[in-house]
Structure 1
Amino acid sequence: MLRSLLVLLLLLAAPARAQDAFTDALRGLGGNFQSQAEAVEKLGALGDPRALPLLQALAEGRLVKTADGTVQLREGDAGEPVRINNRVRVALRGALGRLQLLSPVEAERAAAADGLFRSRSPENIPLLEDALGRESSPAVRERMALALAASRLAAPQEGVKRQGILVLAEGGSAVARGLLLEARAAHPALAPEIDAAIAAIDRRLMLKTAAETAFQGLSLGSVLLLAALGLAVTFGVMGVINMAHGEMVMLGAYTTVMVQEALRGIPALAPLSLPLSVPAAFLVTAAVGVALERGLIRHLYGRPLETLLMTFGVGMIIQQAVRLIFGAQNREVLSPAWMQGTLSLPGGIEITQNRLWIILFALAVLGITIAAIRFTRFGLEMRAVVQNRRIAATMGIRTGRVDAMTFAFGSGIAGMAGVAVSQIDNVSPNLGTGYIIDSFMVVVFGGVGSLAGTMIGAFTLGIVNKMLEPWAGAVLAKIAVLVGIMLFIQRRPKGLFALKGRAAEP
């Protein structure tokens, strides 16, 4: 009963003059298709928010016609449903678009602006100008401006058309460019203005593409930095070619899975599962690194080929062990709410928040690593061993202990890389295989043992790779990068930043 009184309440709430126009238009909804379409257009032109729920009900088939010819919302089986045809549906789309511009819900206003953009009618110009002046949301304002420009292009006056061209040129979107190309064919007299606007949009789109490519390159470079950072530490100090380094990254990712599953039943700690996974992954992979160094690697110092083969076999053993424990299928790692979604920057540039957080995390890990090497006793002993192992031993430094701690430190960094990789890649036993070759390329290109070289090398390779992908494809781009590094090493065998130590000639 209350729902059936909606129309009456809406009518009583309006002033007399507006009520008469509204009532006259409302009567036509119960007539034939011609009168329905005219009534819908009148209700949309009035801009009265009372018409919005009625037209939505008509579009959804929830409006019925009573015995006396009036209409009301459906209530049970009472009344005859008001039927509509395609012409009425077209009128409904335009009218709903106009009325939803007045909605307090941002999503509805955005949808209304999109609907008016598709209709492209000069009749929408006054309504869009008024709505644009009152709109506070930047995203909705952008859509309204695009709809207003499209409506102005459809106007008969050339001056109004030129206003639309200027607005589209300022917008700089691919949609605006397509709209201008359509207008150029329809209005040859305006071709010079349209060509200038298209050229301006092309410049904006080129800058936008360059910025997005740079971000994607930084994103890839941050992953390479995390994966190669631990390898740069162990390779630079110990001269060990650790082919099981990728499996340390994989163990860090699986530690993230285990921490998340363990905290899933604890509501207070579940949102913190990803931050808590970082120290957990470091400790787990550091322990594995100590066991590997003390149990096997320390017996093979000075024999790089045997070390390479042994760590390759250890990596295969770790992969198979993980496959037996967790299964071969991919494991899911949920991202926290603050890492989900996209971030819109000025100029229409959109970046994914999880990639942005990974870039910041990689820089934070790099800073912590530099601080640990420069400002701690462990770092002092590590640098002494790098510079001259024999003299460091005569000064009382236990080089074997330094080797074990260094390998644990490098393995722990790889584990933290696995936490980050779990947010953008599938967690599976083969996860680390795709990063081991790239890690060695970064280390060799940047300079063995140089953290600055590792950072510059990682970001350089990431950006170059993403720049080549649109033209060459992902596989050929990686091959081109590999060939480029080979040619570079021919000229600079020690990489960008050469360090003296066991892994390089003095």
Structure 2
Amino acid sequence: MRALLLGLMLLCVLLAPPAYAVDAALAQRIAAGDNDEKVAVLAKIVAAADPKDIPFLQSLAEGTVTLDGKPVEITVNNRLRREIEGAIAALKLVDPDRTTRLAAAKELSGGAEPGMLPAVKKALATEKDPEIKPLLEAIMATLGIKSTDKAERLAAIKTLGASNSPTSRTLLAELKDDADVEIKAASQQALKAVEGRLAWAERAGLLFAGISLGSILLLAALGLAITYGLMGVINMAHGELIMIGAYTTYLVQNLFRAHFPGAFDAYLLFAVPAAFAASMLVGMALERTVVRFLYGRPLETLLATWGISLMLIQAVRTIFGAQNVQVENPSWMSGGMEILSGVVLPYSRIVIIAFAGAVLVGIGLLLAKTRLGLFVRGVTQNRAMASCVGVPTARVDMWAFGLGSGLAGLAGCALSQIGNVGPDLGQSYIVDSFLVVVVGGVGQLAGTVLAALGLGIVNKLLETWAGAVIAKIVVLVFIILFIQKRPQGMFAMKGRAVES
């Protein structure tokens, strides 16, 4: 009998209509009133700032509430839906869960209604989180600037003047024609402070974009700095070696997605060596079968490698199709870091900058500290003498060309993380790569680094002034004039090109 009674009580609870925390009279006014009446009631619910009212508002947004045990259909138009969404966000400001409060504060930062001021005040009075509290203060200032109380408006102007948000600039700019002289002067002073900080934020964003582009150019040009700079080989298929690295990354991604979905975020750790190995093997095969017979004949080398680049492009189109393929970022490379309002540094770009630095350090150590590096430097400086002392110059040529090709594969792996991968991927970077190597000084890794970063930053600065196309033209003209004045580049030319 006791078990039966408990079962009946549980059934009654499950079948009972939902009980709302909102006052029954207010609920009746929501059901029976017109739109203005509904909005007025929502304002009272927000002023009460009780998160227990959220279920009622969610039911209201769906167009059905339960009153006296009976479902009541309510027409919800766009205006009322916006008001309900704002009311729910305002009530979530006092939710015990930090993540919920933070999401609500960010949502209201985009635009809060004056009726939400009581809920924002209540939330601000109890908020201790260092990330949420400044957001609430900014929302308070946004609402306070529309107040009829002069002291409250001045306090709001002061708060907005200390922020880094473009929204603050817009709000303060609206007060430039205010009738009150004191309000007008305070807003102009605050606006000047905000614009100064935003200008620095824009400069920081441009600098990061320039460094990001420079790191991509550096990755694309590092391999060419070896094959062209150290060996004197004009390899027009360098862009296609970049493409091979990108498609290898695509294949590794698909392998993990099909067979190791739980470890998908780690696929890039395997794609990096795979891309290096694939491009290196293709490069070594290219050197052994074609390039080795063309040393000292730059025009023939250029034509032969250009023909090979067309063959590689067509081979990829035959295997993978002419359409671009999508390479997905691991979750730890998604999103970004907001250092200032409006300045977000994507994690993918940050990782690529760090990756370019690591590759550069690795190549520097390999050339300076390893036996292969010693042989490469010896053959580069004096091929005949290196051969006389027993250096296997032909084998060194193969390994050096393979190293440069492998670096192109690493560039392709990195590029796959910031854009689509297609058969023409390498064509977009081959000219820029040659420009970086020539401007930096043929055979000089330090010059390659400075040229890549310099061209990246200058390109981004010019793009903001004249657009991408004009920026490209201006940079190209500058490089032509620079080479006319200093044909050896930033640093003195070294390598096999000097001997020839």
- Judge same fold: TM > 0.5, yes or no: yes
> Which amino acid in structure 2 is aligned with residue 336 of structure 1?
P
Match of 2:362 in 1: 368
Report whether the alignment pairs 1:424 with 2:411: no
1:229 to 222, 247, 268: 222
> Which amino acid in structure 2 is aligned with residue 172 of structure 1?
N
Distance in 1, Cα, partners of 2:111 & 2:119: 15
Question: CA RMSD for the aligned pairs?
Answer: 2.5
Match of 1:209 in 2: 202
Match of 1:246 in 2: 239
1:58 to 48, 57, 60: 60
Moved more, 144-153 or 367-376: 144-153
Q: Spell out, residue by residue over 1:254-278, the C-alpha distance to the aligned partner (whole angstroms, 9 max, x if none).
A: 1111222223222255332211111
Retained in 2: the 8 A contact 1:494–1:504? no
Distance in 1, Cα, partners of 2:333 & 2:78: 44
1:390 to 384, 408, 411: 384
Structure 1 residue 196: Cα displacement: 1.1
Structure 1 residue 330: Cα displacement: 0.8
Match of 2:494 in 1: 500
Q: Secondary structure at the match of 2:240?
A: helix
Distance in 2, Cα, partners of 1:302 & 1:415: 26
Retained in 1: the 8 A contact 2:253–2:267? yes
Matches within 5 A, 1:306-321: 306-321=300-315
Q: Secondary structure at the match of 1:274?
A: helix
Q: Spell out, residue by residue over 1:410-437, the C-alpha distance to the aligned partner (whole angstroms, 9 max, x if none).
A: 0011011110011112211111001100
Which residues of structure 1 form unaligned runs of 5+? 12-21, 73-77
Provide closer, same or farther for how the CA distance between residues 172 and 404 of structure 1 changes in structure 2, counting only shifts above 3 A: same
Moved more, 488-497 or 217-226: 488-497
Report whether the alignment pairs 1:156 with 2:148: yes
Match of 2:7 in 1: none
Match of 2:6 in 1: none
Moved more, 496-505 or 384-393: 496-505
Match of 2:485 in 1: 491
Structure 1 residue 500: Cα displacement: 2.6
> Which amino acid in structure 2 is aligned with residue 181 of structure 1?
A
> Which amino acid in structure 1 is aligned with residue 483 of structure 2?
I
Provide closer, same or farther for how the CA distance between residues 5 and 179 of structure 1 changes in structure 2, counting only shifts above 3 A: farther
Q: Spell out, residue by residue over 1:196-255, the C-alpha distance to the aligned partner (whole angstroms, 9 max, x if none).
A: 111111111111111111111111111110110011011122211111100100011111
Match of 1:15 in 2: none
Match of 2:168 in 1: 176
Q: Secondary structure at the match of 1:494?
A: coil
Retained in 2: the 8 A contact 1:28–1:35? yes
> Which amino acid in structure 1 is aligned with residue 324 of structure 2?
N
Q: Secondary structure at the match of 1:118?
A: coil
1:472 to 466, 471, 488: 466
> Which amino acid in structure 1 is aligned with residue 458 of structure 2?
V
Distance in 1, Cα, partners of 2:78 & 2:215: 54
1:433 to 424, 427, 448: 427
Provide closer, same or farther for how the CA distance between residues 330 and 232 of structure 1 changes in structure 2, counting only shifts above 3 A: same
Match of 1:19 in 2: none
Structure 1 residue 127: Cα displacement: 3.6
Match of 2:189 in 1: 196
Structure 1 residue 119: Cα displacement: 4.4
Q: Spell out, residue by residue over 1:148-173, the C-alpha distance to the aligned partner (whole angstroms, 9 max, x if none).
A: 00111122221211111111111121
Moved more, 133-142 or 230-239: 133-142
Aligned length: 485
Report whether the alignment pairs 1:343 with 2:344: no
Q: Secondary structure at the match of 1:504?
A: helix
Distance in 2, Cα, partners of 1:61 & 1:397: 83
Distance in 1, Cα, partners of 2:394 & 2:195: 61
Retained in 1: the 8 A contact 2:265–2:332? no
Structure 1 residue 375: Cα displacement: 0.6
The TM-score normalised by the length of structure 2 is 0.90
Provide closer, same or farther for how the CA distance between residues 84 and 296 of structure 1 changes in structure 2, counting only shifts above 3 A: closer
Provide closer, same or farther for how the CA distance between residues 395 and 49 of structure 1 changes in structure 2, counting only shifts above 3 A: same
The TM-score normalised by the length of structure 1 is 0.89
Q: Spell out, residue by residue over 1:9-46, the C-alpha distance to the aligned partner (whole angstroms, 9 max, x if none).
A: 858xxxxxxxxxx4554454444337655543333222
Structure 1 residue 87: Cα displacement: 8.0
Q: Secondary structure at the match of 1:63?
A: strand
Distance in 1, Cα, partners of 2:179 & 2:497: 70
Structure 1 residue 64: Cα displacement: 3.7
Provide closer, same or farther for how the CA distance between residues 367 and 116 of structure 1 changes in structure 2, counting only shifts above 3 A: closer
Match of 1:408 in 2: 402
Distance in 1, Cα, partners of 2:61 & 2:255: 49
Structure 1 residue 83: Cα displacement: 4.6
Retained in 2: the 8 A contact 1:113–1:147? no
Structure 1 residue 120: Cα displacement: 4.3
Distance in 1, Cα, partners of 2:368 & 2:109: 61
Distance in 1, Cα, partners of 2:431 & 2:419: 17
2:92 to 90, 95, 100: 100
Q: Secondary structure at the match of 1:242?
A: coil
Moved more, 432-441 or 274-283: 274-283
Distance in 1, Cα, partners of 2:393 & 2:79: 85
Distance in 1, Cα, partners of 2:497 & 2:245: 27
1:43 to 32, 42, 45: 45
What is the percentage of aligned positions where both structures have the same residue? 43
Q: Secondary structure at the match of 1:350?
A: strand
Provide closer, same or farther for how the CA distance between residues 449 and 134 of structure 1 changes in structure 2, counting only shifts above 3 A: farther
Provide closer, same or farther for how the CA distance between residues 79 and 408 of structure 1 changes in structure 2, counting only shifts above 3 A: closer
Moved more, 428-437 or 164-173: 164-173
Distance in 1, Cα, partners of 2:81 & 2:324: 47
Match of 1:135 in 2: 127
